[in-house]
Amino acid sequence: MSTEDSAGPFDLDGAWRLDERVSVRPERFGALLYHFGTRRLSFLKSPVLLDVVRGLAEQPSARAACVQAGVSSAELPRYRAALAALAASRMIRPRSG
Amino acid sequence: MSLVDDFQYGLDAPICLTWELTYACNLSCVHCLSSSGRRDPGELSTAECRALIDEFERMQVFYVNIGGGEPTVRPDFWDLVDYATGHHVGVKFSTNGVNITDEAARRLAASDYVDVQISLDGATDDVNDKVRGKGSYRTAVRAMQRLAAAGFQGFKLSVVVTRDNAGQLDAFQAIADRYGAQLRLTRLRPSGRGADVWDELHPTAAQQRALYDWLLEHGERVLTGDSFFHLAGYGESLPGLNLCGAGRVVCLIDPVGDVYACPFAIHDAFLAGNVRHDGGFTSVWRSSELFAELRRPSGGGACSACSAYDACRGGCMAAKFFTGLPLDGPDPECVRGHGETALATVPAGTVPKPSQDHSHRTKPVPVSIGRRRPPERACDESPLTLSER
C-alpha cells in the first residue's frame, strides 16, 4: 500500500504519530505524503490507509487506529506492513504516551 | 486501478513542478532547454511570484524545482526562497554555482526545506567547459566545496548525460562522494538550444545500453528524475514512476508565467495557459484543454504492436516533437532502434522550433551602413526628398 518495500518489524501496539515534517495531500487513490526532512515522497494507495495514518495521533495504538478506520483482522497484516514501511522511511514515529 | 493509471488521469495538483524564475543566465550552455541568456522584460514581479507561492501552498504543492536561466541572479531570489519555505513549499533549485558564496552555503545548510542542485556536465573541466562554457567547471566545484564545508549533506550533483561524458559515470559518482552529494543523471533533450546540438551530443546506442546497465547496478543511490523511462524497453524498469508525467503529475511555469506541459516542451503546442490570465495556476492546471487532452488515455500508434511498449510507453513526448517525429510514434532514442529509422524519414525543414529564444547575442548583428535600398515602388519614396536632391 506504500511504495516502500523495506518493511521491518512494526509494533502495532505502540503509540505512533506522523512526523511533524510530513505533509499529507489527499488524492483520489489515497494520499501523497512528503517528508521535508528526507525529501522523500510516499504514496498511500488506499483511503482507508489514509484514515489509519490520520488516526494514529489520537489512538492509543496503531492497532486501535486500524480498528477505528474499519480495517478487519484479515486485512491487518497488510496494514501492518504498510505502516512498517512508513516507519522505515521515517514518515511516522513512535510517540510516548 | 494502479497508481500509474491514477497518475495518467492527473492529480489535483502536480507532484513536481518546475518553475523557471528568469531567462537571465551568466552562462550560455549549448544544450540549454530554455534557450536562456537574457532576462525577459515581462518576467513575473516579486509580488506576482509571492502570489504564485501562495497558490502552491493552497494546492499543497510540496516543493518546487526552481531553475532558469540562473535563478540566483534574480535580486529577489533569496527572498522568494524564504517566502516559499515560510509557506510550506519546499524548494529545490538548480544553479551553476555562481552565487553560492560561503555565506549562501551556510544558510542553505541550515535549512531543511531547501535543496540545491549543482549542474555539471563533465567530470573533467575540458568535457564540462566545452558544453557549459569556460570556467564553469571551476565555478561548480567551488560551489560544491563551499556546500560541503558548510556541512550541507546530500545536495545534488546534476549531470546531463551526453556522448562526451557517458564514459565518466564512475568519475561523476566519485565527485559526488567527495563532496557528500547525491548524483543525479538526466537525459539530454532536443529542446531549446539542445535541438542544435542533439545530433552530435546525444549518447550513442552503445552508450545508452551501458548507461542502462550502470543505472541498474547503481540505481538506488542515483536520482534520475524519471528521465530515462524510455530505457525500460531493454527489459527491467529503472527506479521511479516510469511514465511521462507531462501535464499529469509535472509541468513547467516559465519566467513570464506561461504554463507548459513539461520543462522540455517550451513550445506553443504544449502551452496550457498563463498564470497572469486564465484564472491563475490552479485553474490552468485543473481545467486547461491541453492538460485535459494529455490526461485522456491514448493509443500507442505505431508503437502499440511492439513488445516493449508496455515498458517504455513510447518514450518522451518532447524528444519526439523536437526531432520532428509523430507523438504516437517511437522515441528518437528507442532502444529497439525504431527511432533511428523514423528519424531518417523526417523531411528537412519540418522540425518544430522552440517558441522563444533568450540566448545571448554572441554573434555580431550585421549592420549595413551607407547604401540606401532603392524603393520598391515609386510612391514609397517621398517626393519631397526626391525634389531636394
Question: What distance in Å separates residue B93's CA from the closest CA in chain A?
Answer: 13
> What per-residue confidence (pLDDT) applies to B384?
46
Sign of CA dihedral B165, B169, B175, B179: positive
Question: Which member of A27, A34, A45 has the closest CB to residue B62?
Answer: A34
B118 CB neighbour count, 10 Å cutoff: 25
Nearest CA in chain A to B239: A3
> With an 8 Å Cβ cutoff, is A6 touching chain B?
no
Q: Which segments of chain B have a pLDDT < 70? A: 1-4, 363-389
The pLDDT of A6-30, averaged and rounded, is 88
Distance CA B52, CA B47 (A): 9
CB burial of residue B333 (10 Å; 0-12, 13-18, 19+): buried
Among B95, B75, B208, B206, smallest CA distance to B147 is for B95
Could B90 and A39 be called an inter-chain contact, meaning their C-beta atoms sit closer than 8 Å?
yes
In this structure, chain B runs to a length of: 389
Distance CA B288, CA B229 (A): 26
Q: Output B131 or A8, whichever has higher pLDDT.
A: B131
Q: Say if residues B109 and B147 touch (Cβ distance below 8 Å).
A: yes
Q: Give the C-alpha distances (Å, rounded to integers) separating A34 from A29, A43, B153, B293, B351.
A: 16, 9, 19, 28, 40
> What per-residue confidence (pLDDT) applies to B296?
87
> What per-residue confidence (pLDDT) applies to B376?
53
> What per-residue confidence (pLDDT) applies to B157?
98
- The angle subtended at Cα B349 by Cα B345 and Cα B353, nearest 5°, is 110
Q: Give the C-alpha distances (Å, rounded to integers) separating A30 from A21, A70, A89, B8, B361.
A: 19, 15, 18, 15, 50
In the predicted model, is pLDDT for residue A42 greater than 70?
yes
Interface residues from chain B to A (CB-CB < 8 Å): 1, 3, 6, 11-13, 15, 60, 62-63, 88, 90, 92, 112-113, 115
The pLDDT of A34-51, averaged and rounded, is 91
CA B12 to chain centre: 23
Q: What is the ipTM of this complex?
A: 0.81
Could B112 and A27 be called an inter-chain contact, meaning their C-beta atoms sit closer than 8 Å?
no
Q: Say if residues B90 and B114 touch (Cβ distance below 8 Å).
A: yes
Distance CA A20, CA A93 (A): 9
Question: What distance in Å separates residue B293's CA from the closest CA in chain A?
Answer: 19
B323 CB neighbour count, 10 Å cutoff: 22
Could B63 and A45 be called an inter-chain contact, meaning their C-beta atoms sit closer than 8 Å?
no
The pLDDT of A24-30, averaged and rounded, is 91
Strongest mean pLDDT among A2-6, A21-25, B148-152, B302-306 = B148-152
Mean pLDDT (chain A) is 90
Residue B347: phi and psi, rounded to 5, are -65, 140
> With an 8 Å Cβ cutoff, is A48 touching chain B?
no
The label of the residue with cell 525504431 reads B338
